[in-house]
């Protein structure tokens, strides 16, 4: 069970005012708010143990290294990776995808095929297009339908022994659809292709079991699950991470450097060149602890109630159309009201203290599919309330009256 008053008290920003109105934060798919324990974790790091990791023999450096490596182990346990060094600490989802996409440059040849889905975030499209430009590999796209679900027979038709890599998001940030990744992974493996799952949008709601999924790569960002920005993970199966070349050269990622030849460090350091966001990684661990204390089953159940309530309430507004109506979705509602431009709705309700996203949500191909310039997106988290949904409804009615 969710104790909503207790949870809301954990988030200092939630009792702030915006434009003179109490903040109603419904842009959680873009980034989540941070509980006090996460904020404290960052402050504590800089106040008590700040120093560089993996280098010094001095006490502070050892303390910082321990805290950093403990966070890695927390993440290993949370995502259920087999080995802690299969968790590479990165600057976030985008960075993680680029490590893999760049690494595959040396593993693909002209005519190889890689498969993406029609409902991806730009960060899971563009790095692969760049990879195709470098290698001559061909990008294929799993089609979707009006409901906002992937067409699995369309996927079957794309798979062949030419397929080397498949990359899809677990949950679409623009529609909320939960994709059937178990099946997607299984089918890809049957033709010998590797799979990368973009978990950026699913991991705040669904705790994945990476070993059970048998996925080859999994990427996520801390900031969408109550952690700081600029931190994330790249999970890769050990064999794959050993096969991929390093992404960046520098300190930390080497065994030995001479001007004739440099040898690379073992995992995970091979992919962690330079001084990382130490405080951010430690705070990511704190965020994972915080969310596990609430419990992901509790979070999902409560958010589903919010979704159901909000869907009914919003659909009672005449002319309101929801994009993404799968039975399997997280608490995201992407919508338009008649012909009103999403930006106009977003601006008016912002004056009323309500934060939603408007635009293409970094997923232009989805907007093209529906032939719309964008949507208004309200995305909910476990700290949102039913009262806030009522406030959203009232604000939308007001916006509609002003704009029609």
Ligand X SMILES: *Cc1c(COP(=O)(O)O)cnc(C)c1O
One-letter-per-residue 3-state SS of the chain: CCCHHHHHHCCHHHHCEECCEECEECECCCCCCCCHHHHHHHHHHHHHHCCCCCCCCCHHHHHHHHHHHHHHHHHHHHHCCCCHHHEEEECCHHHHHHHHHHHHHHCCCCCCEEEEECCCCHHHCHHHHHHHHHHCCEEEEECECCCCCECHHHHHHHCCCCEEEEEEECECCCCCEECCHHHHHHHHHHCCCEEEEECCCCCCCCCCCHHHHCCCEEEEEHHHHCCCCCCEEEEECHHHHHHCCCCCCCCCCEEEECCCCEEECCCCHHHCCCCCCHHHHHHHHHHHHHHHHHCHHHHHHHHHHHHHHHHHHHHCCCCEEEECCCCCECCEEEEEECCCCHHHHHHHHHHCCEECEEECCCCHHHHHHHCCCCEEEEECCCCCCHHHHHHHHHHHHHHHHHHC
Residue nearer to ligand X on the CB measure, 224 or 400? 224
Does 221 interact with ligand X (rule: CB under 6 A)? yes
Residue nearer to ligand X on the CB measure, 360 or 400? 360
C-beta of 316: minimal distance to ligand X in Å? 28
Q: Choosing from 132, 203, 362, 404, which is the catalytic residue?
A: 362
Residue nearer to ligand X on the CB measure, 65 or 93? 93
Does 276 interact with ligand X (rule: CB under 6 A)? no
Does 329 interact with ligand X (rule: CB under 6 A)? no
Residue nearer to ligand X on the CB measure, 121 or 329? 121
C-beta of 104: minimal distance to ligand X in Å? 18
Told to judge if 362 belongs to the known catalytic residues of this protein, a careful annotator would answer: yes
C-beta of 121: minimal distance to ligand X in Å? 3
Does 32 interact with ligand X (rule: CB under 6 A)? no
Select the residue interacting with ligand X from 169, 177, 379, 384 (CB under 6 A). 169
Stretch that binds ligand X, among 68-76, 195-203, 206-214, 377-385 (CB under 6 A): 195-203
Of residues 73 through 132, those in contact with ligand X by CB under 6 A are 92-94, 121, 123-124
Residue nearer to ligand X on the CB measure, 27 or 112? 27
The residues binding ligand X (CB under 6 A) are 92-94, 121, 123-124, 169, 173, 198, 200-201, 221, 223
Please list the active-site residues. Answer: 362
């Amino acid at each position: 069970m969710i104790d909503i008053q207790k949870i809301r008290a954990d988030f200092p920003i939630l009792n702030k005012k915006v434009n003179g109105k109490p903040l109603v934060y419904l842009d959680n798919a873009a980034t989540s708010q941070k509980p006090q324990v996460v904020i404290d974790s960052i402050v504590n790091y800089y106040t008590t143990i700040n120093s560089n990791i993996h280098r010094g023999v001095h006490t502070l450096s050892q303390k910082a290294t321990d805290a950093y490596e403990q966070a890695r182990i927390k993440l290993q346990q949370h995502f259920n990776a087999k080995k802690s060094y299969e968790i590479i600490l990165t600057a976030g989802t985008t960075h993680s995808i680029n490590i893999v996409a760049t690494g595959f440059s040396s593993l693909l040849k002209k005519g190889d095929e890689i498969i993406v889905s029609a409902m991806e975030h730009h960060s899971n499209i563009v790095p692969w297009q760049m990879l195709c430009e470098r290698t001559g590999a061909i990008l294929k796209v799993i089609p979707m339908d009006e409901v906002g679900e992937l067409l699995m027979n369309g996927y079957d038709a794309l798979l062949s022994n030419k397929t080397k890599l498949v990359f899809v998001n677990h949950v679409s940030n623009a529609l909320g659809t939960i994709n059937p990744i178990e099946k997607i992974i299984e089918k890809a493996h049957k033709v010998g292709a590797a799979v990368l799952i973009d978990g950026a949008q699913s991991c705040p709601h669904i705790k994945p079991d990476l070993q059970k999924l048998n996925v080859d790569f999994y990427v996520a960002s801390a900031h969408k699950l109550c952690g700081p920005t600029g931190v994330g993970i790249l999970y890769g199966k050990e064999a794959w991470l050993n096969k991929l070349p390093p992404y960046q050269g520098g300190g930390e990622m080497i065994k030995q450097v001479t001007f004739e030849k440099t040898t690379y460090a073992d995992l995970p350091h091979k992919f962690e060149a330079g001084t990382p966001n130490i405080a951010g990684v430690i705070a990511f661990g704190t965020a994972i602890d915080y969310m596990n204390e609430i419990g992901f089953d509790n979070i999902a159940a409560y958010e589903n109630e919010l979704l159901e309530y909000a869907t009914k309430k919003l659909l009672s507004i005449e002319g309101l159309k929801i994009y993404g109506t799968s039975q399997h979705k997280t608490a995201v509602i992407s919508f338009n009201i008649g012909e009103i431009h999403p930006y106009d709705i977003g601006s008016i309700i912002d004056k009323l203290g309500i934060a939603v996203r408007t635009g293409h949500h970094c997923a232009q191909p989805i907007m093209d599919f529906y032939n719309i310039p964008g949507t208004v997106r309200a995305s909910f988290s476990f700290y949102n309330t039913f009262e806030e949904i009522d406030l959203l409804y009232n604000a939308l009615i007001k916006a509609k009256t002003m704009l029609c």
